[in-house]
Amino acid sequence: MDILGIDIGGSGIKGALVDTTTGTLSSERIKLLTPQPATPEAVAEVVAELVHQFQWQGGIGCGFPAVISSGVARTAANIDAGWIGVNVEDLLSAATGCACLVVNDADAAGVAEMRYGCGVGRLDTVLVLTLGTGIGSALFYHGQLFPNLELGAFPLKGGFAEHYAAAAVRKRDKLSWRSWSKRLNLFFSEVDRILSPELIILGGGVSRKSDKFMPFLTARAELLPAGLLNQAGIIGAACLAAERLAVVD
């Protein structure tokens, strides 16, 4: 079954049709710029434009960069504060005329990595991190997701981990790949103290450049770049929508 998967990020809003039986894209990917400021109304308009460009009328799965409980955004670390308390599912369903399922963006990416990427067959503790504007995290044990884990908000160096080690920080502070990797290594060792993951999968846009930084990374856990690269969020959101929207119908 095809579902439109959408990944709302700090810089881009990306979408593609996903064949949810195989976890592969069944259309080209379209990326529109995230409006600034990224208020609920402005983002909903861009999502509606994306849906229009696909001429899409079915279900939609959407990854969103915040804690999402029952469709409602509970945090706004890297997005407009106006999102807190907004029912993102209702907003996007109204804007697009399509039934929308909304989940945390890293949870969506994690689900896709576990089903179709590097996490396939792994029953031990797997942590999927998305490195982008912030740091997203999704934790799995026996393939089961523990939702809305916010490791980007983990205290590190007097602030939050994502303010110290996100991919955007590397660019902003013009850090070398080696210096940025050192920051990630510190983050991994702190995370290891409390979660003891056996595998850490690194996703987000920067996963395309894994050859630049993977050689500098060290962790007790096995480290792998995301198998689905930056498409995991789109694929995972669509797969979850295929299951959960079907239950609602």
Indicate which single residue of 7, 89, 113, 150 sits in contact with ligand BGC (rule: CB under 6 A). 150
| Region 156-175 residues binding ligand BGC, contact defined as CB under 6 A | 162
The answer to whether 136 contacts ligand BGC (rule: CB under 6 A) is yes
The answer to whether 152 contacts ligand BGC (rule: CB under 6 A) is yes
The answer to whether 110 contacts ligand BGC (rule: CB under 6 A) is no
CA-wise closest residue to 86 among 100, 17, 97, 98: 100
Stretch that binds ligand BGC, among 24-32, 86-94, 130-138, 214-222 (CB under 6 A): 130-138
Nearest-approach distance from CB 58 to ligand BGC, in angstroms: 25
The answer to whether 105 contacts ligand BGC (rule: CB under 6 A) is yes
Q: Omega into 65 within 30° of 0, i.e. cis?
A: no
| Region 172-231 residues binding ligand BGC, contact defined as CB under 6 A | none
Nearer to ligand BGC, 56 or 184 (CB): 184
Nearest-approach distance from CB 168 to ligand BGC, in angstroms: 10
Size of site (CB under 6 A) for ligand BGC: 16
**How does 38-50 read in b/e, with b if 16+ C-beta sit within 10 Å?**
bbbeebbebbbeb
CA-wise closest residue to 65 among 17, 14, 27: 14
**How does 59-84 read in b/e, with b if 16+ C-beta sit within 10 Å?**
bbbbbbbbbbeebbbbbbbbbbebbe
Indicate which single residue of 6, 44, 66, 112 sits in contact with ligand BGC (rule: CB under 6 A). 66
Nearest-approach distance from CB 56 to ligand BGC, in angstroms: 24
Indicate which single residue of 3, 106, 145, 223 sits in contact with ligand BGC (rule: CB under 6 A). 106
Nearest-approach distance from CB 53 to ligand BGC, in angstroms: 23
Question: 12 in helix, strand or coil?
Answer: strand
Question: 182 in helix, strand or coil?
Answer: helix
The answer to whether 117 contacts ligand BGC (rule: CB under 6 A) is no
Binding mask 21-60 for ligand BGC (x = CB under 6 A): ----------------------------------------
* E-assigned strand segments in 109-158: 126-131, 135-141, 144-146, 155-156
CA-wise closest residue to 108 among 73, 147, 161: 147
